[in-house]
Chain A
Amino acid sequence: MTSTVAGIPAIATVPPIVSHRLARRHTRHIKERIIEFFLFLAAASSVFTTFAIVYILVSESWVFFQQVPLRDFLFDTQWTPLFSDAHYGIMVLLSGTLVSSSVALLVAIPLGTIIAIYLSEFAPFTVREVAKPFLELLGGVPTIIYGYFALLFVTPLLQKIFPELPGFNLLSAGMVMGIMIIPYVSSISEDAMRAVPMNLREGSYAMGATRFQTALRVVTPAALSGIAAAYILGISRAVGETMILAVAAGMQPNLTWNPMEPAATVTAYIVQVALGDLPHGSIGYQTIFAAGLALMLITLFFNILGHLLRKYYRQAY
């Protein structure tokens, strides 16, 4: 410990008794150690949480997989765990997740990227100062409110364009989810672009490039890994989003690739079972842990990928 003062000679004419000084130093030392230990425990709680998540999901899914072979879980094309003729094909739920996430990303990625480029390279200072908090507020709206908005505002609006659109559908849920993800995509992308050093831009301007050319051909490629990380974190958000889908996309499992249909996602299914009155330990109940495990693995994959990309762009300059 460099923090102790024992090595400094006393200035006072009567030196304090050494043993007293050492005794005090000793208790100080122990106290410091205890505090450090507790702080370490607090930090380690994140590791415990991760372990607890993995332990709960795996051990509860274990009960499920003892009765349902993994092959059926992955390749069956029906998801009817609550019927007497039970089928457990996670593919059905994944199709809902995939379609809704795709719609969301088709909205969030172009808009988020354009907003990021605009805010980082084009917008005047005042626009940026006003727009950024606004976007942040957009990201702070509770998802249940987005769900209400999708079901009772966007769907009726879309039904004016597509009269055959059912009341519950993946399209409106996905679109609203896309709007929700815009702030995540735009803020991380913008951070990446602003991390691009100024002299790259100056070099480009010196060659006679315009703002647009500089943004598109110099800044964007230089920030590419950060932008990719933003997209990937956006994907992980979309896959894990629950309430918008539970409210606006219906809860009927439906193997479909058509966003105009209602379908349950992995997350919406978990909510549906949790709202019901199945007893803990029944096979129907254990399905939610298996579904959660699938969800966790998918988002974990994207999170790690995004994390690595982000680390990469931080080290680039």
Chain B
Amino acid sequence: MNTAPSVAEVRALIVKHKRWDLAFAVIGTLALMVGILTFVALFADMLIDGMPRLNYDFLTSFPSRRPEQAGILSAWVGSTLVMLVTAVAAVPLGVAAAIYLEEYAPKNWVTEIIEVNVTNLAGVPSIVYGLLALGLFVYQFGLGQSILAAGLTLALLILPVVIVATREAIRSIPSAIREGAYALGATRWQMVSQHILPYSIPGILTGVIIGMARAIGETAPVITIGALTFIAFLPPTPISGAFPFLSFEWLTAPFTVMPIQMFNWTSRPEAAFQANAAAAGLVLLVMTLSMNALAIYLRYKLRKNIQW
């Protein structure tokens, strides 16, 4: 039988264990610092390498064999147009799917299959979407290496993000709102379109922004469908002077996007091209980070403001 420890011994034990607490707090802070410092180093690296190249000409020039004359005009125009297609395709589809799953879906095996699919699609590597698009959009549908094919590919890629965010936004609306609408004689669609949708717009917006930020930085699927790396022209303009004023020719135009342009420059051995890559990377980084930051801010506001 042990004798009971003296008070001094117990105190020593407590101090010893409290030291572990402190040690772990330090380790935890250090681990967090590794993440944050890497982030800072990454940003600083891009800034130092890329800032000298970043000027107005860089944004308004086409890529060129001479690194000092090269620019990202075709890349950012391409990215913008691809994003436009992605948003037009992914947002209505994703929101509609989320509405169905939250407000309409009966609890049965069909719903179960759809839910499992959405979860699974979120984990499919982006390059597999590229292969899907290559086989389906490029060859079977004959869309070619076009802006339309790329935009649809990225839309499929971010669909799970939009669906999940919309579902969360819808789920946070209390059922009293639904019951109130029904009590006034609204049909299900009236209830959804006049109450659920407007109230969940901030949440949906957050998800859409995060999805778009992801899509704009995606390289692998767009390379897989065969986007060209050297494009020294712009797609036809969507607005024309003559009737019918709107032209959709740009949808089928060949294109390049920001990450592909950056990849192309990074994989060249000359340091001057790598400086171009850093400058393009800087633009891309600022774009995605500001989109992400906006989404984080929106969510923060949302959490503060909306109390049902």
Is the Cβ of B188 less than 8 Å from the Cβ of A32? yes
Is the Cβ of B210 less than 8 Å from the Cβ of A115? no
Partner of B97, one of A1, A46, A144: A46
Contact digits for B187-225, partner A, Cβ 8 Å, 1 yes 0 no: 111010000000000000000001001101111100111
Size of the B side of the interface (Cβ < 8 Å), in residues, is: 95
Partner of B101, one of A43, A111, A151: A43
**Given the known A-B contacts A122-B28, A271-B220, are A53 and B132 also in contact in the complex, defined by CB atoms under 8 Å?**
yes
B143 to chain A, nearest CB (A): 14
Contact digits for A11-47, partner B, Cβ 8 Å, 1 yes 0 no: 0000000000000000010011001101110111111
Which residues of B lie under 8 Å from residue A247 when comparing CB positions? 263, 266-267
Is the Cβ of A45 less than 8 Å from the Cβ of B97? yes
Residues of chain A from 102 to 117 with CB closer than 8 A to chain B in the complex? 110-111, 114-115, 117
Size of the A side of the interface (Cβ < 8 Å), in residues, is: 93
Which residues of A lie under 8 Å from residue B217 when comparing CB positions? 140-145
Which residues of A lie under 8 Å from residue B210 when comparing CB positions? 140
Task: Check A49 for interface membership: any CB of B closer than 8 A.
Answer: yes
Is the Cβ of B127 less than 8 Å from the Cβ of A270? yes
**With the chains together, A32 CA to B132 CA distance in Å?**
34
Is the Cβ of A182 less than 8 Å from the Cβ of B125? no
Which residues of A lie under 8 Å from residue B159 when comparing CB positions? 45-46, 49
- Of the stretches B64-72, B113-121, B237-245, the one at the interface is B113-121
Is the Cβ of B218 less than 8 Å from the Cβ of A142? yes
Task: Check B302 for interface membership: any CB of A closer than 8 A.
Answer: no
Contact digits for A277-298, partner B, Cβ 8 Å, 1 yes 0 no: 0001000000011001001100
Is the Cβ of B262 less than 8 Å from the Cβ of A148? yes
Task: Check A82 for interface membership: any CB of B closer than 8 A.
Answer: no
Chain B residue nearest to A311 in the complex (CB): B119
B288 to chain A, nearest CB (A): 6
Task: Check A179 for interface membership: any CB of B closer than 8 A.
Answer: yes
Contact digits for A81-92, partner B, Cβ 8 Å, 1 yes 0 no: 000000000000
**With the chains together, A143 CA to B134 CA distance in Å?**
21
**With the chains together, A182 CA to B32 CA distance in Å?**
10
Contact digits for B33-65, partner A, Cβ 8 Å, 1 yes 0 no: 011101101100110010000000000000000
Which residues of A lie under 8 Å from residue B289 when comparing CB positions? 137, 140-141
Chain B residue nearest to A146 in the complex (CB): B42
Task: Check A172 for interface membership: any CB of B closer than 8 A.
Answer: no
Is the Cβ of A32 less than 8 Å from the Cβ of B189? yes
Partner of A56, one of B27, B36, B135: B135
Partner of B117, one of A46, A123, A302: A46
Task: Check B253 for interface membership: any CB of A closer than 8 A.
Answer: no
**Given the known A-B contacts A118-B28, A300-B120, are A39 and B21 also in contact in the complex, defined by CB atoms under 8 Å?**
no
Task: Check B84 for interface membership: any CB of A closer than 8 A.
Answer: no
A138 to chain B, nearest CB (A): 5
A173 to chain B, nearest CB (A): 13
Is the Cβ of A243 less than 8 Å from the Cβ of B219? yes
Task: Check A99 for interface membership: any CB of B closer than 8 A.
Answer: no
Is the Cβ of A39 less than 8 Å from the Cβ of B28? no
Is the Cβ of A236 less than 8 Å from the Cβ of B28? no
Partner of A47, one of B17, B42, B114: B114
A48 to chain B, nearest CB (A): 9
Total A-B pairs, Cβ < 8 A: 288
Which residues of A lie under 8 Å from residue B139 when comparing CB positions? 280
Among A240, A275, A295: residue with most chain B CB under 10 A: A275
A96 to chain B, nearest CB (A): 14
Is the Cβ of A153 less than 8 Å from the Cβ of B45? yes
Is the Cβ of B114 less than 8 Å from the Cβ of A43? yes
**With the chains together, A5 CA to B29 CA distance in Å?**
60
Chain B residue nearest to A280 in the complex (CB): B139
Chain A residue nearest to B222 in the complex (CB): A274
Is the Cβ of A43 less than 8 Å from the Cβ of B281? no
Partner of A136, one of B17, B131, B292: B292
- Of the stretches A68-76, A198-206, A208-216, A252-260, the one at the interface is A208-216
Task: Check B235 for interface membership: any CB of A closer than 8 A.
Answer: no
**With the chains together, A119 CA to B103 CA distance in Å?**
35
Which residues of B lie under 8 Å from residue A155 when comparing CB positions? none
Which residues of A lie under 8 Å from residue B20 when comparing CB positions? 210, 212-213
**With the chains together, A274 CA to B145 CA distance in Å?**
12
**With the chains together, A3 CA to B185 CA distance in Å?**
7
Partner of B32, one of A131, A152, A270, A289: A131
Task: Check B105 for interface membership: any CB of A closer than 8 A.
Answer: yes
Is the Cβ of B36 less than 8 Å from the Cβ of A39? no
Can you offer 9 A-B residue contacts whose CB atoms are under 8 A? A3-B186, A4-B187, A40-B104, A45-B93, A115-B28, A144-B266, A152-B266, A274-B226, A296-B125
Q: A interface vs B, CB < 8 Å?
A: 1-5, 8, 28, 31-32, 35-36, 38-40, 42-47, 49-50, 52-53, 56-57, 59-60, 110-111, 114-115, 117-119, 122-123, 127, 131, 133-138, 140-149, 151-153, 179, 182-183, 210-213, 215, 233, 236, 239-243, 246-247, 267, 270-271, 274-275, 280, 288-289, 292, 295-296, 299-300, 302-304, 306-307
The 5 closest A-B pairs by CB, nearest first: A240-B125, A142-B217, A118-B28, A42-B96, A56-B135
